[in-house]
Every structure is written in C-alpha cells, then in structure tokens.
Amino acid sequence: MAQNSVEDRRNCVRIPVETLITFTIDNNNDKTFHGTSQNLCSNGIYITTNYAANLNDQIKITLDTFEENIEPLIAEGKVVRCKFDKKNADLFHISVEFSETHENWIQVFTDTTSLAS
C-alpha cells in the first residue's frame, strides 16, 4: 500500500463499525487478542482492546462477518497509535495503518462507502 501523508490519512472517509475483532501481533499466531472496532477507512482501522500494543507492532486483524457465505475480513498493518483510556485503565485505543488488505475487505469497504455517498 502506498505511503499516504498525515493529511491524506486524516481526510479519509471513516465509517463507524462497532464489532468484535481478533488480532495477532508480530506474526505470533499462538497468541490471539480480542477487541472492538470503532471505525475503519480504506487505509486503517481504530480499535479498542485490553491489550497495550507498541508503536510499529505488526498486526493482523480478523473481523468475522458472521455470514456463512462471506469469509472473515482480514487486514494487516502496523500500530501507529496506542493510548490508554482516561476512564478505564484496562482499555487501550489503537490506530492501525493497513499495509495489506485482503480482497474481500476492499470489496466490503467499497460497497459501504458507495452506500454512504
């Protein structure tokens, strides 16, 4: 995925999507973490979780569609922000910049943004 400027990333159309996700860090598939997506855009996702990720951690996110005929949505990227929640010390807000999105993720995002227009 091409590097986008901070302004390009901030101007990205964000779609509120609050659903459960699972993720792994640094290709360690033996340890799975859970969280909730808050919003997503074509080049990233914002999640909340009880795991405190490090900046630049490589992350692989799976969003289950809960539909038999639609495969889970999978995206890979790096952690670009991780902040603790001011009201809940066990909750962290993580921003991820995608480096790779699988084809079905791109299709869902394209369909969703065309509906929002």
pLDDT at position 71 is: 81
Tokens read off for 51:
């795991």
Q: Please report which helix (H) or strand (E) contains residue 62, including its range.
A: strand 58-63
Spatial contact of 39 and 16, defined as CB atoms under 8 Å apart:
yes
* H-helix or E-strand spanning residue 103: helix 103-116
Domains and CATH numbers, the chain: 6-116 (2.40.10.220)
What pLDDT does 84 receive?
A: 94
C-alpha distances in Å from residue 108, one per residue of 9, 30, 40, 52, 101: 19, 28, 11, 28, 11
Q: Tens of pLDDT along 41-96?
A: 888 999 999 999 999 999 999 988 777 887 888 899 999 999 999 999 999 999 99
| Mean pLDDT value across the chain | 83
Helical segments of 4-102, H only: 6-10
